Amino acid sequence: MKKLYIIIVFVAALITAKGQGVEGEIWIEGKVVDVGTGKGVKANIHYKSLPTGGITGSFRDSVYRFSIFGSSKYEVSAEVDGYITAVAIVDPKKGVEGKILRNLTLTPKGQTIRLTHLIFEQGKSVIDPASFDELDEVAQMLIDHPKLVIQLEGHTDKQGSMSKNMELSQERVDQVKDYLVDKGVGKSRVKTKAFGGTKPLSADKTPEARNLNRRVEIRILSE
């Protein structure tokens, strides 16, 4: 009878632990989606601990979910034919209630990747620290794929002097290149090109449109 009681208590403890989660455990989960349609894309999903890759795992799906322990960052990547590999770096310190939600957005080959979280000081080429996470992911993508060569393309809005805008867009992509090189990417693998305000995404004159036109994009030159 005593033995049965111990077993019941043990099972109850397991159920409680499963419901509440194990202390220190962080669940990382997300979807793999097409940048244009937002629809799920079935991909080869891989994850590994950084910097050594001592812990790894993989999935074949349009969604993923795995748990981690400790303070190491993890890289999650999604690969599928016809798309540029998507890379995300997740930090367990940023978990909320034991969970990190992070989608992987796939861009079709032949299209440029827009750095949507890249921020500069107004009218300057100084990179805001809030941009570092996204740039770290670009650096990791290049480190993982040593044959990859990219071109950073800088754009401004059409306000102000055309020559000044061209100069500013060049300075900004040069700053991004310097950041990637500092992270261990070879200089010869990162080309730059400035467009100033000559290729706006929107002709509207609203603040939203001007913000959309101010951007840096990545073009894959070879892989």
Query: Which pLDDT band holds residue 1 (cuts at 50, 70, 90)?
Result: low
Mean pLDDT, rounded, for 121-146: 94
Measured at the alpha carbon of residue 96, what is the angle toward residues 101 and 142, in degrees to the nearest 5? 45
Which pLDDT does position 19 carry in this prediction?
43
- pLDDT score of 15 more than 60: no
Which pLDDT does position 20 carry in this prediction?
46
Q: Cβ atoms within 10 A of the Cβ of 62, count?
A: 18
pTM: 0.84
Q: In what order do the strands lie in the sheet with 215-222?
A: 113-114, 215-222, 149-155, 190-196
Which pLDDT does position 6 carry in this prediction?
43
Nearest by Cα to 183 from 141, 127, 150: 141
Fold entry, domain 24-108: Immunoglobulin-like (2.60.40)
Q: Cβ atoms within 10 A of the Cβ of 92, count?
A: 18
- pLDDT score of 187 more than 70: yes
What is the homologous superfamily of the domain 113-222 according to CATH?
OmpA-like domain (3.30.1330.60)
Tell me the per-residue pLDDT of 43-89, one tens digit each, with 9 for 90 and over: 999 999 999 999 999 999 999 999 998 899 999 999 999 999 999 99
User: Which range, of 1-15, 49-63, 200-214, averages the lowest pLDDT?
Assistant: 1-15
Could you state, in order of their start, the residue ranges of all structural domains in the chain?
Answer: 24-108, 113-222
Q: What is the mean pLDDT of the chain?
A: 89
User: Which range, of 17-21, 27-31, 41-45, 115-119, averages the lowest pLDDT?
Assistant: 17-21
Mean pLDDT, rounded, for 23-38: 93
Residue scoring higher pLDDT (40 or 4) = 40
